[in-house]
A and B are shown apart, each in its own frame.
Chain A
Amino acid sequence: AQSVTQPDIHITVSEGASLELRCNYSYGATPYLFWYVQSPGQGLQLLLKYFSGDTLVQGIKGFEAEFKRSQSSFNLRKPSVHWSDAAEYFCAVGDGSNYQLIWGAGTKLIIKP
């Protein structure tokens, strides 16, 4: 069965430091991969996505993610975080056959001043 694992429930990072949020998936074919961000009291906003081509994808707000097929991973990165990046981040996987996405449990990012 398809699954998505975000191993870190919480991550604390100092403002200005680099960030990497992990996402591992279990899926047979090449999946469609997404990262979403949810600020407190808001809906989920699409940060970036991968479905083919260059395995390093750029998104909004200065985020990027790299698809590594050999590791079944799609980790999210940002070189320098800002206090406004404090939010919850969700990784999701789809296969394109039924438009349903499988969601990770989310990683809450806390920014230290």
Chain B
Amino acid sequence: DAGVIQSPRHEVTEMGQEVTLRCKPISGHDYLFWYRQTMMRGLELLIYFNNNVPIDDSGMPEDRFSAKMPNASFSTLKIQPSEPRDSAVYFCASSPPRPNYGYTFGSGTRLTVV
């Protein structure tokens, strides 16, 4: 298996532009998580899905952020409009339906909003 695949690896965009981050989880992993990592706040859970259904989106910072999972092999995290304070590394992780398994993380997308 190729692991969790995220794209792009790096994204530089101007303030006000729409940004879309993509994630392909491992096949058979029913759970998908979106995290944001910054120096100031560490790892923050934004939202997670089970079987393509959003379960908890309480970590989504504001309405500018949205996430979808149209099928078991693809998820997007969209920021519209983007702001400089959104600059961070965004990780996607997936897990099978076994809570003792742990997560498999993607390599992340480093977002810079200028």
Which residues on the B side are within 8 Å of A46 (C-beta)?
A: 102-104
Which segment of A15-23, A62-70, A99-107 sits at the interface? A99-107
Kindly provide the distance from the CB of A39 to the nearest chain B CB, expressed in whole angstroms.
Answer: 10
Q: What per-residue 1/0 map shows which CB atoms of A44-55 lie under 8 Å from chain B?
A: 111001010000
Given contacts A90-B43, A100-B56, A106-B42, contact A44 B91 (CB under 8 A): yes
Kindly provide the distance from the CB of A70 to the nearest chain B CB, expressed in whole angstroms.
Answer: 22
Q: What per-residue 1/0 map shows which CB atoms of B38-66 lie under 8 Å from chain A?
A: 00001101001010000110000000000
Measured in the bound complex, the distance between the Cα atoms of B26 and A46 in whole Å is 15
Q: What per-residue 1/0 map shows which CB atoms of B84-103 lie under 8 Å from chain A?
A: 00000001010100011011
Contact check, A101 vs B105: say whether CB atoms are below 8 A apart.
Answer: no
Contact of B48 among A44, A90, A100, A103 (CB under 8 A): A100
Count the B residues whose beta carbon is within 8 Å of the partner chain — how many? 21
Contact check, A43 vs B108: say whether CB atoms are below 8 A apart.
Answer: yes
Measured in the bound complex, the distance between the Cα atoms of B27 and A105 in whole Å is 30
Contact check, B108 vs A32: say whether CB atoms are below 8 A apart.
Answer: no
Interface residues, chain B, CB within 8 Å of chain A? 4, 31, 42-43, 45, 48, 50, 55-56, 91, 93, 95, 99-100, 102-108
Additional A-B contact list (16), CB under 8 Å, known A32-B99, A42-B107, A46-B103:
A34-B102, A43-B107, A43-B108, A45-B105, A51-B100, A90-B43, A96-B100, A97-B99, A98-B56, A99-B48, A99-B95, A101-B103, A103-B42, A103-B43, A106-B42, A106-B43
